[in-house]
Structure 1
Amino acid sequence: MKGGQSKTESTSTDQRLKTRGRKPGKKTTKDPNKPKRAPSAFFLFLDDFRREFNLANPNNKSVAIVGKAAGAKWKSMTEEDKAPYATKAESRKIEYVKNMQQYNMKLASGTNRGEEDESKSEVDEAGGSDEEEEEDD
């Protein structure tokens, strides 16, 4: 075999590429009640930049061009120019941390609505009914 891999080399490579610790086909579901992460200063800048760029270039349909132009402008900006975006990002981060603490407290106390809905659906799927539960009590 010229320049190729032998069978033993390719199988060891395949083993390394497999995901570890997770069974295939099982996906974790995201909690829709979990707060979104706070954007960075660059993403706040990018939001403003996109609006200006699209007004100046209405025929542009390329996301890559907008991203490259924004990155170039961000790199050329001074720290003073970036300061308003940094302060907005910091305030949003503080708000996010507060929201996450409240969210984690709700999870710890078990008052999350998503968990209650899931537990009811599991009971219904198992064939249990409310009448049977009342008789047991």
Structure 2
Amino acid sequence: MAKGDPKKPKGKMSAYDFFVQTCREEHKKKNPEVPVNFAEFSKKCSERWKPTSGKEKSKFDEMAKADKVRYDREMKDYGPAKGGKKKKDPNAPKRPPSGFFLFCSEFRPKIKSTNPGISIGDVAKKLGEMWNNLSDSEKQPYINKAAKLKEKYEKDVADYKSKGKFDGAKGPAKVARKKGKKVEEDDEDEEEEEDE
């Protein structure tokens, strides 16, 4: 997973988040040597939060409101890092799926129907295992299909670039812009491939 911008303000906390934080601090004071088992701890906090009276909860609501003010103020001062990703042109051709992705599209519904209530993470895990257990010859149809889609994508990209990104541009201006920008566009494509 790509790391977010380190300068980005810390997300705002809810009343419940502050309650959990308070519980954790209490736990640390009472049992400084005992490490927190997060799953059990979350469950206990949730059970303690339910019966908490509105009056007690209002204290945490106030904390959450103050934190929201802090967050909104910091977000106003924070602009996304310079050199952040440019918006993608919605008319640009869509990148083609890989062989594995085509395989997933076919088998995902089957896994869901045979395992009702399965989580997205478990579906992905099962698909990964199934794909790894396929022989090369079993993978081949998906790989071939992906290769055909990639060829089509490359042709679409060439057509898209030859038309220029701005259909409204007049002939000579478009050609001049094209020549000047050719290298940059190629570089952009490489950057995008690295991102994914």
Residue 139 (structure 2) pairs with residue 82 (structure 1): yes
What residue identity is the alignment partner of 2:82? K
SS at match of 1:42: helix
1:41 to 71, 88, 99: 99
In the TM superposition, what is the alpha-carbon distance from 1:55 to its structure 2 partner?
Answer: 1.6
5 Å-filtered alignment, 1:1-137, equals: 23=82, 28-60=86-118, 62-107=119-164, 110-111=166-167
In the TM superposition, what is the alpha-carbon distance from 1:27 to its structure 2 partner?
Answer: 5.4
Identity %: 38
In the TM superposition, what is the alpha-carbon distance from 1:75 to its structure 2 partner?
Answer: 0.6
Cα distance in structure 2, aligned partners of 1:102 and 1:55 = 41
* TM-score, normalised by the number of residues in structure 2: 0.42
In the TM superposition, what is the alpha-carbon distance from 1:54 to its structure 2 partner?
Answer: 1.2
Unaligned runs of 5+ in 1: 1-16, 117-137
* TM-score, normalised by the number of residues in structure 1: 0.59
Q: 1:64 to 1:91 in 2, by over 3 A?
A: same
Unaligned runs of 5+ in 2: 1-5, 8-80, 171-196
Corresponding position of 1:6: none
SS at match of 2:164: helix
Aligned-residue CA RMSD in angstroms? 2.4
What residue identity is the alignment partner of 1:23? K
Corresponding position of 2:188: none
* Residues 87-111 of structure 1: per-residue CA shift (max 9 Å, x gap): 1101100110110000010117x42
What residue identity is the alignment partner of 2:99? A
Stretches of 4+ moved more than 3 A in 1? none
Cα distance in structure 1, aligned partners of 2:88 and 2:140 = 34
* Residues 51-103 of structure 1: per-residue CA shift (max 9 Å, x gap): 1111211222x111001001111111001110110111011001101100000
Higher relative contact order (CA 8 A, sep 6+): 1
SS at match of 2:87: coil
